[in-house]
Structure 1
Amino acid sequence: MEKKTFTFDEIKQKLVNYCVYQDRCHYEVEQKMREFLLIDEAKEEIMLYLLKENFLNEERFTRSYIRGKFYIKHWGKNKIKMNLKQKQISERLISSCFDEIFEEDYTNTIRKIFEDYYAKQSGLKEYQKKTKTIKYLMSKGFEYEKIINIFD
């Protein structure tokens, strides 16, 4: 099967559309660019254009990623941070954007997930239910200290 060829402007437009559809980070745009055979200068020019025109904004991406993964998927900070690091977002930027999650919402989410999951465990001793639920919350990226604080 022959690969369709695009002009520079068509590729640029495709990448603009890719960024407009949902917030992207540099890493995702670089991955997407691999689909097109572009010389380094062309990649650089497109990247600069996307940044200059604000189609690509790492902080906006990080903030919307954090909100989405917490408020929609109910991930904890550890899982969110790990996934952002895989997208090559800096530790500093990640930390500065965690203010997108309100502390009260975070605590309430942990409590709600804990109660729901705990209630589903049947035929187990009390401590087994608790252990299993703590492990589940940690697998969703919540910090052990925060989970334990719920019982205090």
Structure 2
Amino acid sequence: MNSICTPKEALVKLEHFCAYQERCHAEVVTKLYSLKMTADEIDSIVVQLIEGNFLNETRFACSFARGKHRMKSWGKIRITNELKARQISSTNITLALKEISANEYETTFNNLAERCWDGIQEKNILKKRKKFCDYLLRRGYESHFVYEKAKEMELK
């Protein structure tokens, strides 16, 4: 952004910024700092964005959880950690995780596990199992699901 803009210009820019895609408060505040706004101006603009329904942390959390699960096949642990990193409240995180049905979660997990297991070219079963478990744990799935699935895949 070039030079400093007025609070009114900043508000218009942030309305577009928030209308384009759901945003969390932290992203908006960072963007406002990049526009060289003062702390008071930032507070005022954030309040106006919330009142105008451009900024809604619950809506952001739910949208984030649905999107990351469906598009990137992330598990609940990874989604929770990413939301915490964005300073989302635990209440909103709980609501967001309810957006993912148990059926959808299980189906995604099983599809990802099958693809992963078949894709690992390792001959040594212990190394293959480790790669498999590490991958699914990195994606944020619960360890008891991962280890159960690993046992099941080894028996196939």
* Both proteins in one fold, TM over 0.5: yes
**Per-residue deviation, residues 92-137 of structure 1 (Å, max 9, x unmatched):** 2202221111111111111111111111222413343233211110
Paired residues, number: 151
Describe the SS at the equivalent of 1:46: helix
Identity of aligned residues (%): 32
Describe the SS at the equivalent of 1:56: coil
Q: Give the corresponding residue for 2:40.
A: 41
Q: Give the corresponding residue for 2:14.
A: 15
Alignment partners' CA distance in 1, 2:123 and 2:92: 42
Structure 1 spans left out of the alignment, 5+ residues = none
**Amino acid paired to 1:37:** K
Q: Give the corresponding residue for 1:117.
A: 116
Q: Structure 1 pair 127/108, CA: closer, same or farther in 2 (3 Å)?
A: farther
Q: Structure 1 pair 42/119, CA: closer, same or farther in 2 (3 Å)?
A: same
Structure 2 spans left out of the alignment, 5+ residues = none
Q: Is contact 1:107-1:146 (8 Å) kept?
A: no
**Amino acid paired to 2:23:** R
Describe the SS at the equivalent of 1:24: coil
Q: TM-score w.r.t. structure 1 length? A: 0.91
Alpha-carbon RMSD across the aligned residues, in angstroms, is 1.8
Q: TM-score w.r.t. structure 2 length? A: 0.89
Alignment partners' CA distance in 1, 2:32 and 2:122: 52
Q: Is contact 2:137-2:143 (8 Å) kept?
A: yes
Q: Give the corresponding residue for 2:86.
A: 87
Q: CA deviation at 1:4?
A: 2.3
Q: Is contact 1:23-1:61 (8 Å) kept?
A: yes
Q: CA deviation at 1:7?
A: 2.2
81-90 or 141-150, which moves further after superposition? 141-150
Q: Structure 1 pair 123/47, CA: closer, same or farther in 2 (3 Å)?
A: closer
Alignment partners' CA distance in 2, 1:37 and 1:123: 53
**Amino acid paired to 2:105:** Y
Structure 1 residue runs of 4 or more that deviate by more than 4 Å after TM superposition: none
Alignment partners' CA distance in 2, 1:58 and 1:113: 29
